[in-house]
Each structure stands twice: as structure tokens, then as C-alpha cells.
């Protein structure tokens, strides 16, 4: 039951941002909790528009203060012998605000986000990029990053190369990327 409410709230945030979904998409919203059993603190809702062997596009929804834990998208050996350097992704903020952290200058003491309490050891990069509607940022392959919604939550469009979520490498060793949960 809680999942239905969470999905409805995510749909409402997207609607407020002008984003319309089909009935099928509403039924396939993924609530990613990363196996941490604290979705409100570390988690996000997402809709996959398209994901193939060439490109991917998703809509991400984070509620106020919600955090997507630190991770990177590692290189992948492809079936044809080539190496994919890892997923590259462009985040474009559609509504609300998002505090994005990537490798580079910055420290835990001077950032706008609040690192989830008790998980400090698993947040190690603090170069801050603040995105508000219309802003975007491209994260290179195999680069550690994490992000947290501001006080109004955030709706973020993600444009990327092929997405292989199951291969993501998280800094927090407790994390296992879970399968899609039907809303």
C-alpha cells in the first residue's frame, strides 16, 4: 500500500513539472531503495522511457531531502569484444532542486546536502553542483557521484548511454541494486 502512495506522489510531482506518463508507465515506476530498507532517506523513483544498446532516457523523482547513494558506472566488456567505458549520463533538472556531488575539489563540511546519518563512510566525493530547473550536468563514465534533492524535492531527466543498473558499483558495501518493484 505504501508503494502505491509513493508512486502516486511521484506521478504528482512529475505532473506538476508538466510530465505526462502513460498508464503503463505509471504501473512500471521503479522505487529503488538499494536494499537499505530506508527508501525515504536513500532511494528514488524512476521511469525508464527507453534503454537500448545505444542510448537511454529516464525520469528521476526524489522527494525532499532524499538521496541517491554514491556510486559509479564501471567499464563493461561487450559481447563483440569492445569495451564500453561505462555509462555516461546527463542530468537535467526539470523541477525543484538537486545537489549533485562528483569527484573533485570540495569537502563534507561545506556542502548544502546532508550526508545520511550513520552512512558518512560511504560518501566520499564532495565537489558540489547545484541544479535548478533548466540546469544540467554531464557525469563522465566511471566517476563517483551521488545526489540529494533540495527541500522541494526534484524531478530530473537523465539522458545517457546504455544503462546497466545491475553493474553499478556503490561505495556502501551493504547496497545491492534491487530489481524493479511494480508500483
Report CA-CA distances (Å) from 152 to 97, 139, 148: 7, 23, 11
Least separation in angstroms between residue 20's CB and a copy of itself is 4
- For a copy of itself, give the closer residue by CB, 41 or 164: 164
Least separation in angstroms between residue 114's CB and a copy of itself is 26
Least separation in angstroms between residue 5's CB and a copy of itself is 21
Least separation in angstroms between residue 36's CB and a copy of itself is 30
> Which residues of the shown chain bind a copy of itself in the complex (CB under 8 A)?
17-22, 25, 49-50, 52, 54-57, 88, 90, 92, 94-95, 133-136, 138, 157, 159-161
Long-range contact pairs involving 10-19 (C-beta distance under 8 Å, separation at least 24): 10/45, 10/61, 13/61, 13/63, 13/95, 13/96, 13/153, 13/155, 14/47, 14/59, 14/61, 14/155, 16/95, 17/94, 17/95, 17/155, 18/94, 19/59, 19/94, 19/155
Query: Where is 23: in which H helix or E strand?
Result: helix 23-27
Instruction: Judge contact between 66 and 41, C-beta under 8 A.
Output: yes
- For a copy of itself, give the closer residue by CB, 42 or 158: 158
In whole angstroms, give the CA distance from residue 70 to residue 145: 5
- For a copy of itself, give the closer residue by CB, 74 or 111: 74
Least separation in angstroms between residue 69's CB and a copy of itself is 24
Strand-strand pairing, 89-102 and 136-139: antiparallel
- For a copy of itself, give the closer residue by CB, 36 or 155: 155
Least separation in angstroms between residue 99's CB and a copy of itself is 18
- For a copy of itself, give the closer residue by CB, 23 or 166: 23
- For a copy of itself, give the closer residue by CB, 119 or 160: 160
Amino acid at each position: 500500500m505504501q508503494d502505491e502512495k509513493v508512486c502516486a506522489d511521484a506521478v504528482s510531482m512529475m505532473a506538476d513539472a508538466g510530465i505526462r506518463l502513460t498508464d503503463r508507465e505509471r504501473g512500471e515506476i521503479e522505487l529503488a531503495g538499494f536494499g537499505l530498507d530506508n527508501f525515504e532517506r536513500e532511494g528514488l523513483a524512476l521511469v525508464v522511457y527507453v534503454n537500448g544498446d545505444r542510448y537511454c532516457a529516464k525520469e528521476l523523482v526524489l522527494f525532499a531531502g532524499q538521496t541517491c547513494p554514491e556510486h559509479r558506472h564501471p567499464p563493461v566488456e561487450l559481447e563483440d569484444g569492445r569495451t564500453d567505458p561505462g555509462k555516461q549520463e546527463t542530468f537535467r533538472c526539470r523541477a525543484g532542486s538537486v545537489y549533485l556531488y562528483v569527484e573533485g575539489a570540495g569537502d563534507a563540511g561545506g556542502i548544502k546536502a546532508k550526508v545520511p546519518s550513520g552512512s558518512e563512510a560511504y560518501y566520499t566525493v564532495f565537489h558540489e553542483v547545484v541544479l535548478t530547473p533548466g540546469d544540467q550536468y554531464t557525469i563522465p563514465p566511471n566517476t563517483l557521484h551521488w545526489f540529494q534533492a533540495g527541500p522541494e524535492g526534484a524531478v530530473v531527466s537523465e539522458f545517457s548511454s546504455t544503462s546497466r543498473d545491475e553493474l553499478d558499483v556503490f561505495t556502501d558495501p551493504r547496497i545491492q541494486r534491487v530489481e524493479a518493484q511494480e508500483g
